[in-house]
Amino acid sequence: MDDAVYRKLAEHLDHLPGGFAPSTTGADLRVLRRLFTPEEAALAVHLTLDREEPGVIAERAGLPLADAARRLAEMADKGLIFPAYAAEGSTRYQAAPFVVGIYEFQVNNLSNELVADLNEYWETQQRRKRPRTITQMRTIPIGKSIPLEMSVLPYERAEDLVRQHHRFAVAPCICRRSAKMTGEGCDAPEEACLVFGDWADYYVRTGRGRALGEAEVLDILRQADAHGLVLQPNNARAVSFICCCCSCCCGVLQAIQRFPRPSRVVVNAFIAAFDAALCTDCGVCMTRCRMEAITHENGHIRLNENRCIGCGLCITTCPSGALSLVRKPGVEVEGMPETIDDTWRVISDAMEAEKSGRGGA
């Protein structure tokens, strides 16, 4: 009976953005058993990407309202679904993808057993093609790498994305925390995941993060530059989060690294440009590049534009000005969704179209 409940939940999560691919070893179901009780798993499949009142979900699930409302609140506290708090005190709930969502929400719930099952899951999940659609996350440049004279849209500059909001929080990076639990990881700051608006409210209310002001958010972005961290917000004009990522712990960056041409798989309107005549071959840029786009060949620095993701880390520490940031030719950014919920819907619609034979592979 339990297996059937968790398999149904796994299928439900696999229909959400990011998917939840089966594991060849059963690690997928072991992860779900550690996170959800059978009752929670049975209720979770009745949530959608729409934010709905408890009564709507209770009716769909065939549960008394009081019972459903209690379970939904408990599941939100556990990081299994997402709650949106209204000013008058009511709460609406929506399904959370496994990534970005449930996994990140477990930052305070990690155990050695859960980390082991998660690591096995990442290594054994089935690799599948996804429909050609927008991604959940994108890469934006470190602010200091953008030339003052360059025309930049508000959703292309980290500082402008921050100033769109009035409610901020910071949380520990679950990737670095997990890595340290296995004796790996790095010395980059652990408290480096920035969340905004509704997400900030959720993180603060549930103790996953702490509230902070705009000035401290901007200081964390400056620290990200100092530690060579890549900025990855959600792929929308109004962001809900900005992750400050290291390539040694971040699964997203590690996946991008494996591509022969990372520049083609990231969403970013910028790329580095290199002036060999100005280069002093100091090699600082090589230590900063997370995609191995910069190499030292025959005594000279070389830039492989196919591997550049436009994060700007090489530019902020280049003493000679040999590296700069330019716009990618022909990059179209006008179709970017407004919010993370809009992004999730676009991805979900593309996945459903693919499964019904109406979409391209």
Q: For 137-180, give the DSSP string.
A: B--B--GGGS-TTS---GGGSHHHHHHT-S-EEEEE-HHHHHHH
Q: What gap in Å lies between CA 302 and CA 280, rounded to an integer?
A: 12
Report the pLDDT averaged over residues 315-334: 85
**Prior bond of 266 cis (ω within 30°):** no
Sheet holding 168-172, edge to edge: 210-212, 168-172, 191-196, 241-245, 230-233
Q: What percent of the chain has pLDDT over 90?
A: 82
Q: What pLDDT is stored for residue 131 in this prediction? A: 61
Confidence of residue 355 (pLDDT cuts 50, 70, 90): confident
Q: What pLDDT is stored for residue 360 in this prediction? A: 43
Q: What pLDDT is stored for residue 128 in this prediction? A: 77
By C-alpha distance, which of 9, 26, 34 is closest to 123? 26
* Token pair for 287: 């230590």
Q: What pLDDT is stored for residue 130 in this prediction? A: 65
Report the pLDDT averaged over residues 141-164: 87
Query: Does the predicted TM-score (pTM) go above 0.85?
Result: yes
Q: What gap in Å lies between CA 348 and CA 84, rounded to an integer?
A: 20
* Strand, helix or coil for residue 93: strand
Q: Is the pLDDT of residue 283 over 90?
A: yes
Question: Which parts of the chain are beta strand (E)?
Answer: 81-85, 91-95, 168-172, 191-196, 210-212, 230-233, 241-245, 270-274, 294-297, 300-303, 323-327
Residue identified by tokens 């090699």 is 283
Confidence of residue 147 (pLDDT cuts 50, 70, 90): confident
* Better pLDDT: 163 or 351: 163
* Better pLDDT: 154 or 136: 136
Q: What gap in Å lies between CA 154 and CA 161, rounded to an integer?
A: 7
Q: Tell me: domain 2-124, CATH 1.10.10.10, correct? A: yes
Report the pLDDT averaged over residues 167-183: 96
* Better pLDDT: 43 or 134: 43
Long-range pairs for 254-259 at CB < 8 Å and ≥24 separation? 256/291, 256/309, 257/290, 257/291, 257/292
Confidence of residue 132 (pLDDT cuts 50, 70, 90): low
- List residues bridging with 195 in a β-sheet: 169, 241
* Token pair for 156: 């292309």
Q: What gap in Å lies between CA 4 and CA 305, rounded to an integer?
A: 48
Q: What gap in Å lies between CA 346 and CA 237, rounded to an integer?
A: 14
Report the pLDDT averaged over residues 246-262: 93
Cβ-based burial of 354 (10 A; exposed 0-12, middle 13-18, buried ≥19): middle
pLDDT in tens, 76-93: 999 999 999 988 889 999
Report the pLDDT averaged over residues 22-35: 97
* Strand, helix or coil for residue 103: helix
Q: What pLDDT is stored for residue 88 in this prediction? A: 81
Task: Break the chain into its structural domains and give their ranges.
Answer: 2-124, 143-257, 266-327
Q: Is the pLDDT of residue 335 over 80?
A: no
Q: What percent of the chain has pLDDT over 70?
A: 96
Crossing angle (nearest 10°) for helices 112-124 and 174-181: 110
Report the pLDDT averaged over residues 49-72: 97
Cβ(10)–Cβ(29) under 8 Å?
A: yes
Report the pLDDT averaged over residues 303-319: 95
- C-alpha torsion angle, residues 117, 124, 134, 56 (rounded to 10): -50
Q: Which CATH number is associated with domain 266-327?
A: 3.30.70.20
pLDDT in tens, 177-217: 999 999 998 999 999 999 999 999 999 999 999 999 999 99
Confidence of residue 331 (pLDDT cuts 50, 70, 90): low
DSSP designation for 340: H
